[in-house]
Each structure stands twice: as C-alpha cells, then as structure tokens.
C-alpha cells in the first residue's frame, strides 16, 4: 500500500529513524560502561526529540488549518444533498396532493349530481 506523505511528514519520518539510532547508540555506550559518552549522545538525542515534537505540532497546526476548509466544503455538500432529499419529498407530497384534488373533484361531482 503506497503511503503518501507531506514534505514535513517525510522529514519527521527520517528524524524518527535517526532518533532511534541515537537511542540505540546510547544504550550500547551504557552497556559498555561509558556513561559520559552515553550522556552526551542522550542530550543530543533529546534535542532531536524536541525538534521532532515541534515539527509534529506544526504538522498538526497545518492540518487543522486545511481541514477547517474541507469540513466546511463537506458541510456545504451535505446541505445540497439535504435539499435534494427535500425536493424528492416535495414531489411525493405533490403526488399526494393530486390525489386529494381528485377527492375534491369527486365531492364536486357528487354535489352536481345531487343538484341535477
């Protein structure tokens, strides 16, 4: 399944991969009893993580901006579809009114029949 991403999302994806590598390196250093080096990698990794957080927040803001317009568009479409449904219902009502009209004509015929 092809996944489409915006430029920002592609960057985030790459940064997430880099952060994972940084975290793996930190663990290896800790296991090798090199806490000072591990700490340095950790600090850089944390900075990278903060940047990723900011980028994700930006992506969310972008999305909220775009989606407001799209949600309004679909709401407008919904109004139009509702109007179509009302038109159809109205047509059914007209058919019903024709029957009522025939009923009135019938009453008139009966009245005429009674007079003549």
Binding region for another protein (CB under 8 A): 1, 3-6, 9, 12-13, 16, 19-20, 23, 26-27, 30-31, 42, 45, 49, 52-54, 56-57, 59-61, 63-64, 66-68, 70-71, 73-75, 77-78, 80-82, 84-85, 87-89, 91-93, 95-99, 102-103, 105-106, 109-110, 113
Position of tokens 């489409």? 4
- Report CA-CA distances (Å) from 60 to 3, 6, 8, 49: 18, 12, 11, 16
CA distance 25 to 48: 14
| Least separation in angstroms between CB 7 and another protein | 12
CB 22 within 8 A of CB 48: yes
CA distance 86 to 80: 10
| Least separation in angstroms between CB 47 and another protein | 13
Nearer to another protein (CB atom), residue 40 or residue 96: 96
DSSP state of 5: -
| Least separation in angstroms between CB 42 and another protein | 8
| Least separation in angstroms between CB 2 and another protein | 9
């Amino acid at each position: 399944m092809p996944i489409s991403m915006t430029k920002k999302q592609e960057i985030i994806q790459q940064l997430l991969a880099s952060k994972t590598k940084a975290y793996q390196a930190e663990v290896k250093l800790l296991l090798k009893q090199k806490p000072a080096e591990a700490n340095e990698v950790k600090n850089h990794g944390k900075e990278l993580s903060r940047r990723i957080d900011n980028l994700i927040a930006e992506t969310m803001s972008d999305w909220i901006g775009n989606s407001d317009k799209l949600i309004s568009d679909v709401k407008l479409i919904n109004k139009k579809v509702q109007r179509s449904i009302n038109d159809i219902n109205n047509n059914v009502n007209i058919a019903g009114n024709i029957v009522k009209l025939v009923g009135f004509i019938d009453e008139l015929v009966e009245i005429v029949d009674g007079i003549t």
